Structure 1
Amino acid sequence: MNLIFRMLWVLIRSLFCARIEDNRFVSEFSLHVLPNDIDINFHMNNGRYLTICDLNRVDIFARSGLLKAMFRRNWIPVIAEHTMTYKKPLGIFERYRVKTEVTHWDEKYFYMKHNFSKDERIAAEGTSKGCVYARGIGVVSPADAIAAVEQDRSK
């Protein structure tokens, strides 16, 4: 619940940003480290990085049409694995850029690369793999998820 305003900002922002075309799934934006992002060392908490990656994924879902396709079909996104390497701390109120890119997919998972930077220096970077899941059915292949987006666009 503590990221509800950022989530709303991402969803509203996605309405005005360019649609994702040609399966180039990339999300990038600037944020500030807020007081609710920090730990006892007064820098961004390691868990917050993973949550910010969720915001990038929501942006990708919204701008690609996958969010609409998932709602229509009662599908949910699931992260199966996530790793993050922390290189430089982000202090309170510092501005940083975060970028998430879907690099490829196979028959089950989408694979993503995450990058947090400040002043052109890498603060953290990581990878994740995720899938689209249909309750009662199981994993929806990325090819089928993309086909659903294309089907919805043609309506």
Structure 2
Amino acid sequence: MNLWLRLLVLTLTARRRPRVDLLGECVTRFRVAPGDLDALGHVNNGRYLTVLDLARTDLVLRSGTSPVLRREGWYPVVTAETIAFHRELRLGQPYTVTTRTLGWDERSVLLEQVFRRGHDGAGEVVAEAVVRALFLRRGGGRVPTEELLAATGHGGAAPRPLPSWVADWHEAQDGVRQRRRAERPAA
């Protein structure tokens, strides 16, 4: 319930909060709620991944990308993510998640998402994640990144080169995908 309420609040307040560029940074504010906690009294590891979903939704809403996705019948799907935890969050603590696009290739978009204590977006880093996503058509099939970027008013090369470790991770994910395909039984 807590997550549905957060999603509703994000959706209803998106127009009143500052617009962001799809390829820029989006800072989303949160506060640790009782439903976020595990038996040890800090935010559950799995909850971080769910909050990342909410922060990406905020980016889509505040960048004006949501109407494009609805019109085209496209939706995002996470295909891989990795997260590193540095510190804990406890009940009542305010925190932010800063989401920014790292880059893309012909099929995937790579995002960095950083949890920080406090509501100013400049606090102590709590956790860092890299997420790889692609967009699918409701009618079936994948949306090429070039088509997605053109529809949202962007295009061209990625804004910066991927950090080497992210490029290596991204390549490793492709290797996993190719291995899984090779292991599928012939139809």
Asked whether the two chains share a fold, i.e. TM above 0.5, the reply is: yes
State how far apart, in whole Å, the 1-side matches of 2:15 and 2:130 are.
Answer: 26
- Asked if structure 2 preserves the Cα contact closer than 8 Å seen for 1:25 and 1:64, the reply is no
- Cα RMSD after superposing both structures: 1.8
**Offset, 1:76:** 1.4
Partner of 1:94: 93
The answer to whether the aligner puts 1:9 opposite 2:12 as a matched pair is no
**Offset, 1:74:** 1.6
Moved more, 62-71 or 45-54: 62-71
Moved more, 102-111 or 57-66: 57-66
Higher relative contact order, structure no. (Cα contacts within 8 Å, ≥ 6 residues apart): 1
State the AA in 1 paired with 2:83. M
**Offset, 1:122:** 1.2
Task: Give the TM-score normalised by structure 1.
Answer: 0.88
Higher strand share: 1
1:3-152, aligned counterparts within 5 Å? 3-21=3-21, 23-118=22-117, 120-150=123-153
Task: Give the TM-score normalised by structure 2.
Answer: 0.74
- Asked if structure 2 preserves the Cα contact closer than 8 Å seen for 1:108 and 1:140, the reply is yes
- Asked if structure 2 preserves the Cα contact closer than 8 Å seen for 1:115 and 1:124, the reply is yes
- Please list every run of 5 or more consecutive structure 1 residues that lacks an aligned counterpart in the other structure: none
State the AA in 2 paired with 1:84. I
State the AA in 2 paired with 1:3. L
Instruction: Work out the percentage of aligned pairs sharing the same amino acid.
Output: 31
String of CA shifts for 1:98-125, please: whole Å, max 9, x gaps. Answer: 1111111111111011111125221111
State how far apart, in whole Å, the 1-side matches of 2:9 and 2:86 are.
Answer: 27
State the AA in 2 paired with 1:147. A
- Please list every run of 5 or more consecutive structure 2 residues that lacks an aligned counterpart in the other structure: 155-187
Q: Is the radius of gyration larger for structure 1 or structure 2? A: 2
State how far apart, in whole Å, the 2-side matches of 1:143 and 1:14 are.
Answer: 26
State the AA in 1 paired with 2:32. V
SS in structure 2 at match of 1:50: helix
Aligned length, in residue pairs:
150
